[in-house]
Amino acid sequence: MKESGRPRGLVAEEALLQTPLGRTLADRLPVVAIRPRIEPADYAAHEAGELILASHRGSFVKPCPGTRGYVCCGLQIIHFGLGCYLDCSYCILQSYLGTEALVLFGNTDRGLAEVREYLRQPLPRPMRFCTGEFTDSLLLEGLTGFGRRLVEIFADCDHAVLELKTKTTNVSGLLDLEHAGRTIVSFSVNAPMVARQEESKAATLDRRLEAAARVVQKGYRVGFHFDPLIRHPGWREGYGRTVEDIFEAVPADRIAWISLGAFRYLPRFKTIIKRRHPKSLITEEEFILAPDGKMRYLRPRRVEMYRHLLSTIRQAAPKVCVYLCMESPRVWREVFGFDPGPDGLIHMLDQQVEDPRGRST
């Protein structure tokens, strides 16, 4: 993994420097600024290479907002930081914060207490939690150990699972944990050419799959997210190769799920991609403005990609759970022959949660 963009300096709220996390970070990074309080509006003043340690004043656990008209997987998001230095050309995180700095919420204890409290209550159904919505789950694991602490919390819980989503290989800290099958380590994957050209600072595909194999050896189940699927010359062969590589790296029955999501972006994001990644061709395909306000490939093109991926996956592992991320019921019907209906996808994925140790359906 290339080093550029990694935190080189710490900007911290004064009080947070006294916390264990604050002390650890201050030991390992030069403190470039200390502020009495850092508000979200202040983030934009900071630059790439700065790690902002700020208090999160809202709720740490939030449901995925989903999108009207598109089928949502119903994840609960544990919100512990913002931003990512992997700098993938297609990544929405480039436009979210208005800064290239990373933000880590330093009031972790309150965050973890909130997660514990959430899990203590009777939940209406098995729940899936994830930390990788606004940042990569394991990007700063070496500095924070936040993933480790969550794995330990979820190990005591029999009606929820934690999903850690990453494009890194930072799994070493998870290997010695008693996870009780309650954590799924997921890897974002792509076709080799996309991984090389558009995810140039992330771990290589081979290394991601090696990391997946390592966690599987320690009893974890894994997930794979083909998201975003990007049309490019040779996409069929490229995605086919990645599917093959996945099933060579890990046994199918250790895969909790594989998601497919075609590239989509907010219209204003195109300017950011062109400015930050002038050589990237990912916005040169044909897109339409979909009812959710995002630019999407034309539906027939998306369906074509999903069908190809699904058939390739099914050939290798007929029973593995495959789902579409944020797609319309119509696309579901055209790809799978059915649409999951309201909450159908949620139930489908919840079944995976109920069977923590193993068998995929």
Q: Name the residues that contact other proteins, by CB under 8 A.
A: 69, 275, 278, 281, 283-284, 286, 288-291, 296, 298-301, 328, 330
CA–CA distance, 267 with 272 (Å, rounded to integer)? 10
CA–CA distance, 215 with 217 (Å, rounded to integer)? 5
Q: How far is the CB of 94 from other proteins (least distance, A)?
A: 13
CA-wise closest residue to 92 among 146, 139, 132: 132
If the CB atoms of residues 33 and 123 are measured against other proteins, the closer one turns out to be 33
Q: How far is the CB of 347 from other proteins (least distance, A)?
A: 23
If the CB atoms of residues 275 and 359 are measured against other proteins, the closer one turns out to be 275
Q: How many CB atoms lie within 10 A of CB 252?
A: 15
Q: Is 307 within 8 Å of 337 (Cβ atoms)?
A: no
Beta-carbon contacts of residue 180 (< 8 Å; ≥ 6 apart): 154, 155, 156, 356
Q: How far is the CB of 286 from other proteins (least distance, A)?
A: 5
For residue 161, what are the β-bridge partners?
128
Q: How far is the CB of 99 from other proteins (least distance, A)?
A: 12
Cα maximum dimension of the chain:
57
Q: Is 64 within 8 Å of 73 (Cβ atoms)?
A: yes
If the CB atoms of residues 26 and 281 are measured against other proteins, the closer one turns out to be 281
Q: Is 234 within 8 Å of 271 (Cβ atoms)?
A: no
Q: How far is the CB of 19 from other proteins (least distance, A)?
A: 32
Q: How far is the CB of 325 from other proteins (least distance, A)?
A: 16
Sign of the Cα torsion 35, 28, 91, 327 reads negative
If the CB atoms of residues 159 and 301 are measured against other proteins, the closer one turns out to be 301
If the CB atoms of residues 295 and 346 are measured against other proteins, the closer one turns out to be 295
Amino acid at the residue 129: F
Q: How far is the CB of 155 from other proteins (least distance, A)?
A: 42
If the CB atoms of residues 33 and 298 are measured against other proteins, the closer one turns out to be 298
Q: How far is the CB of 344 from other proteins (least distance, A)?
A: 17
CA–CA distance, 31 with 113 (Å, rounded to integer)? 27
If the CB atoms of residues 225 and 231 are measured against other proteins, the closer one turns out to be 231
Q: How far is the CB of 13 from other proteins (least distance, A)?
A: 24
If the CB atoms of residues 100 and 136 are measured against other proteins, the closer one turns out to be 100
If the CB atoms of residues 291 and 358 are measured against other proteins, the closer one turns out to be 291
